[in-house]
Amino acid sequence: MNYVLDIPQPEHATDAAPLPATRVQPARIGPLVVDPPIFSAPLAGFTDHAWRQIVRDFGGVGLLATEMVSAEGFYYQVGGMKGCIERLWGVKEEPRPLAVQMWDNDPETLAWACRKLAFEYQVSVVDLNFGCPVRKVSEKAESGSHLLRFPTKVNEIVARVVKACAPVPVTAKIRLGCTWDSLTAKDVARAVEDAGAAALTVHGRVAADFFSGRANWERIAEVKPVLRRIPLIGNGDLNSPAAILNAFRRYPVDGVMIGRASLGRPWLFQQAARALKGESAMPEPGLAEQARLLLRHQRLIVERYGEESGNMLMRKFACCYAQGRPGARAFRGRASRCRTNAEFEQIVRDLFPKPRISADETDERR
């Protein structure tokens, strides 16, 4: 593609000048040392094998995570739950460290599934989800964030899984509570630690928020005094190296977890890692480079799922790459209907945001 590489950076681009360093120690998750203490969030439908490969190539992430997996689906491997097995494709072979997140409300089902992850798949960390607000998980299955109402049940689940997986560390991810009138994070944190978990991640919203509003980091910080021995990982609205540095400087967290902001910007982990060291920040890749990365991502997806299914799955990623860019709406409209490789490449060539040309450059070309 004949794009110009030397272009103005998007508004959210980082300055090439180094940000002031801050003293950050590696996070210790049982026997695992996570350095830098930057974690990727498990995001259902997104943090698949192809995405993890791209993030790993950029570097900067201390611990990658797979998509969230249903323990029941993993157990039965039937019907609509086959997708749960698909989410573990490539896990046995890919580099470590790697975490897998499981959800359910039955201690025995979770213990069986997590033990299999620990010893057959040999994952580095088994993570338990107590924060998902999606209705089919929280309401229909009475799992995820639904369990924030029941710290005793959380303790029972974590203890059973810890016993089944030892010595592989078990961690948990929670929200502040189900609603702002019922903030149970402290009670749940005690239950998680008392059950033998190796770390706790707290997302700074309640389940009722889903992903609206702003994450409340002051409330995340309030959980730290409750924990006696395990690290606290903060999560929510970490969309720039500066925001990540600020989280470490202002709040008593031992690590940070980056989620949705990285879906269209897989280089964010490397930017953050460099910022923590006080090194010159990796500049935001130019639009031409982003377009090439998008096409590489598409090829990885198609290699796994075939042309039609792969391009259908790629639609959501394409929308993430275009988010916040000029012309994103037109690009999303076309990409959301794409089914073939040729069509996808044409859409990227025609509609992926082009470098802006200044008035002076336009005059020079005349």
pLDDT tens per residue, range 328-357 = 888 888 988 999 999 999 999 988 876 554
Distance (Å, whole) CA 231 – CA 212: 27
Flag whether 2 is in a domain. Answer: no
Mean pLDDT of the chain: 88
**Residue 134's domain is classified under what CATH number?**
3.20.20.70
Locate tokens 């995820």: which residue? 144
Q: What's the domain range around 291? A: 287-351
Note whether 259 and 306 are same-domain residues. no
CB atoms inside a 10 Å sphere around CB 150: 18
Instruction: Say what angle helices 107-119 and 151-165 make with each other, to 10 degrees.
Output: 30
**Residue 344's domain is classified under what CATH number?**
1.10.1200.80
Q: Catalytic annotation on 165?
A: no
- For the chain, what is the domain count? 2
Cβ–Cβ under 8 Å, residues 345 and 295: yes
Instruction: Say what angle helices 307-322 and 287-305 make with each other, to 10 degrees.
Output: 150
CB atoms inside a 10 Å sphere around CB 264: 19
Distance (Å, whole) CA 181 – CA 109: 31
Residue range 50-66: mean pLDDT, rounded: 96
Note whether 185 and 303 are same-domain residues. no
pTM of the full structure? 0.88
pLDDT score at 18: 57
Note whether 223 and 296 are same-domain residues. no
Residue range 49-53: mean pLDDT, rounded: 95
pLDDT score at 133: 96
Distance (Å, whole) CA 282 – CA 14: 8
Residue range 75-80: mean pLDDT, rounded: 60
Helix (H, G, I), strand (E, B) or coil at 255: strand
Note whether 247 and 291 are same-domain residues. no
Catalytic residue among 84, 114, 132, 338: 132
Beta strand pairing call for 177-179 and 32-34:
unpaired
Note whether 195 and 257 are same-domain residues. yes
> Residue 229: CB partners within 8 Å, gap ≥ 6?
193
